[in-house]
Structure 1
């Protein structure tokens, strides 16, 4: 596809709206991660792949001479993705904050250098009519974006359709950013197929996440109503079933895949259902220790 020679006003307006959304879409997610101090349900590999995706798509959008807002998009998007990825290292993998931040910053510099190198080396070829390198970049960007959206579906499968850890404001803003950016490409003099594919993938795959959770809420409406009547949460009910060894239709599945290890079970230490019991268990252990005789300690 030849680069754009002129950009209609409508394309600039729609691209600006899309960029506005994509410049802030991860802020609610980053804030939620920070407040909750946990990223369960938000796959770190998703954020990392999206950050890498920004490099080929950034180079591609500049070479194609898209409207300026869409050229800025990948840079902001990739930066926010790296921030969120660093949070998964801190809150989920328990890395020290300085270590995760340093690695994320170093990777950001590498990605910036890689994008600059791609632009400087491939754009002159593209301007001379050698198209295939930029086509490959567009394909790589689309693949990375799509692959990055697969880990959330693994989390969804694990929880039988339930979505946790993903901020709905983030997902809504991200979806709208992709939609308006897609409309900006439609408004251009010629529609860029590869750029369009990237946004179309984002619109449909993220739409599937919304639909999956809505279906889960419909299927669990009676259980959640019962939990609410008993002043409990859905996780409380699931934990009770697990402890009683009662088969529960919505119990978490065990997932075994490369780079993804998860076993089914009840809520973690910071989730509803366990926080009330932790102090009593601790007191019980202390009481037993106090009652033990010196001779019993040796045995």
Structure 2
């Protein structure tokens, strides 16, 4: 049966896709910490600010009567933040060889610093250029399937009227606080990445975070483009939308450090190779 893609249907689809991505977003990092027996790839300030952002986001969302998906996810985020925080402190009390390699990998470009063995990373099933798109597609299709199963009874119902809009200063204040905390949390992690060169940090976590934020923003826009409705949701739109750009910066760090490492490992076989490398 073909479903008419009305704004309400598109909003629900985007909302379920956002839920699907955010349900799995923490899993790669939690699993990587467990595999490495280390939490050195994460900035503690990053986790704490993210946790505070999730808490204020939860309280503000309840007060503003936002989408139920946002409220449910905020509770789940808080639990996952606490798990990550526990892992960091637990593994730092019992550092493994991998944790020491990450923690002491401060400036690998400084020749005065002894080179340390890189932490053993779980070998991916597929190359990253295939693995992450396939993982994302699977998660998004899972969200689509969840929507199709749970919202079948509402497909044939006529369009709902515009959602009620309430601008209440307390919920707006909490919403903006959460947005600032989300944005601020990325800064210490970005700085931390320059010390660890992203060792011990899960690329998939940021990959899914970007997808979850984009689909969440779309779910709000599809619900209503009424100016007052957008204004009421502006703190959450800003928190999700602007965070995407900082997460893209983290992905760029992964790419740059990986490229530098490959160039560093590439042996020079002749004087011509040396000259070509210097010209580049």
Tell me, yes or no, if the aligned pair for 1:56 and 1:140 is still in contact at 8 Å: yes
The equivalent position to 1:175 in structure 2, one of 210, 215, 218, is 210
Corresponding residue of 1:35: 35
Are the equivalent residues in 2 in contact too, given 1:29–1:166 (CA < 8 A)? yes
TM-score calculated relative to the size of structure 2: 0.61
Q: Tell me, which stretches of 5 or more residues in structure 1 are unaligned?
A: 1-6, 96-126, 230-299
Distance 2:72 2:88 in 1: 25
Aligned residues of 1:11 and 1:67 also touching (Cα < 8 A): no
Rate the CA distance shift 1:68–1:129 in 2: closer, same or farther, 3 A.
Answer: closer
Cα shift at 1:175? 1.6
**What residue number does 1:63 align with?**
63
Identify if the C-alpha distance between structure 1 residues 129 and 22 changes in structure 2 by more than 3 Å, giving closer, same or farther.
closer
Q: Residues 130, 61 of structure 1: CA spacing in aligned structure 2 closer, same or farther, 3 A cutoff? A: closer
Larger Rg computed on CA atoms: 1
The CA deviation at 1:130 is 6.8
Structure 2 distance, partners of 1:128, 1:169, is 36
Tell me how far 1:8 sits from its aligned partner: 2.4
Deviation, 1:66, is 2.5
- Residue deviations 1:56-105, cap 9 Å, x none? 1112222333322222111111110110110000012449xxxxxxxxxx
Shift in Å, 1:128: 11
Q: Cα–Cα, structure 1 residues 67 and 129, in superposed 2: closer, same or farther, change >3 Å?
A: closer
CA gap 1:172/1:8 in 2 versus in 1, 3 angstroms:
same
In structure 2, the gaps of 5 or more residues are 1-6, 96-163, 270-280
SS of the residue corresponding to residue 46 of structure 2 reads helix
Larger deviation: 45-54 or 211-220? 211-220
Alignment pair present for 1:201 and 2:238: no
CA distance in 2, matches of 1:55, 1:225: 47
Tell me how far apart the structure 1 counterparts of residues 8 and 185 of structure 2 sit (CA, whole Å). 32
| Total equivalences in the alignment | 189
